[in-house]
Chain A
């Protein structure tokens, strides 16, 4: 049986050796999966807000989409990943309520995309937007990211 790691909102995890990293209940949050195809290692982050406000002195690694991307990259490098081989996938950023005015999900996705582009990490695939909650499972042996909806 592969090792299964579950992350909560605002958390990130890295793994290798065919482990599974999973996270549930993704609404307006964005989940960032980064994978190194050559080394077969990677990680998943579940971020909640687009960017840090000056008032927040919180030290969580993956609360904000932009910081979640850069921290996830650093963490994967720590276990032997090479940034040149990284590819990314994004899931989430939905609007659960139809007449929401905030577009927070969209902002979360844009914030993650911006940092990935700056770091020259290719976004291989996206399942973003819409109004469905999702759960996400990343297989570190293959880099495959499985997305499920509730209904």
Chain B
């Protein structure tokens, strides 16, 4: 699965539109300015994408949900342990230690994930005129790579080819840095590109 530079730009543009809206919702929730930059798009066989995205054995808190309907894929939001702790504090969850993250991830991260992904899915559906549903969010705190392999294989068992759009997210003035990933299978990526041609 290869894309031209123009197609990659088009795909990044979709993510920009999605994130413009979800950014506003999240910014209201946290009462902070949120910066989101789409730095990377990776496409190819699942293990190659995995090798690009997996990072080290760094522990992250992750929320993930699957998209189904006209598009098949997943949305994933991850925060490194330090950022997850800071996020919990910002959300008024008191002092959270890194060792508490497995409990913490059930609350604060779900709230953030729901706002971000709920808005994203709606914008994606409205803007592209597609029918998109999404699953209940899944949460885990563990090694980045271990989480990534579970997410990628959940969406791509059949084809082994996937597209990943990676976004850096940070809360201005706070030490909170995370990453948002939009992942689509091969068929859905084609559909995305076709749909945006008419835009």
Binding site for B on A (CB under 8 A): 8-10, 24-29, 48-49, 53, 55-56, 58, 60, 63, 94-100, 102, 104-105, 131-135, 150-151
Contact = CB atoms under 8 A, between A and B. Distances in A.
Contact of B146 (A26, A55, A63, A100): A26
Contacts of A102: 153-154, 157
B85 interface: no
Interface string B159-199: 11000000000000000000000000000000000000000
B56 A98 contact: no
Question: Interface majority SS on A: helix, strand, loop or mixed?
Answer: loop
A68 B154 CA distance: 20
B54 A53 contact: no
Interface stretch (B20-28, B33-41, B43-51, B122-130): B43-51
A29 B154 contact: no
B102 interface: yes
A49 B45 CA distance: 12
Nearest to B64: A97
A58 B135 CA distance: 30
22 contacts: A9-B47, A9-B50, A9-B145, A26-B149, A27-B145, A28-B150, A29-B146, A53-B157, A55-B160, A56-B159, A63-B46, A63-B160, A96-B146, A97-B139, A98-B139, A100-B138, A100-B150, A100-B154, A133-B147, A135-B143, A150-B146, A151-B102
B57 to A, nearest CB: 5
A27 B138 CA distance: 15
Interface string B50-67: 110010110100001000
B148 interface: yes
A131 B149 CA distance: 13
A27 B150 contact: yes
- Max count, chain A CB within 10 A of own CB: residue among B148, B150, B158: B150
Contact of A151 (B59, B150, B160): B59
B140 interface: yes
Interface of B: 45-47, 50-51, 54, 56-57, 59, 64, 99, 101-102, 136, 138-151, 153-154, 157-160
B147 A96 contact: yes
A94 B138 contact: no
Contacts, number: 123
Given A27-B143, A97-B139, A150 B59 contact: yes
Contact of A48 (B46, B56, B99): B46
B64 A55 contact: no
Nearest to B140: A96
B150 A55 contact: no
A92 B45 CA distance: 21
A97 B138 contact: yes
- Please give me the 5 A-B residue pairs with the lowest Cβ-Cβ distance, nearest first: A25-B145, A133-B146, A27-B146, A97-B138, A10-B47
A60 B157 CA distance: 16
A9 B51 contact: yes
A81 to B, nearest CB: 26
Given A55-B158, A55-B159, A49 B145 contact: no
A55 B159 CA distance: 6
B59 A53 contact: no
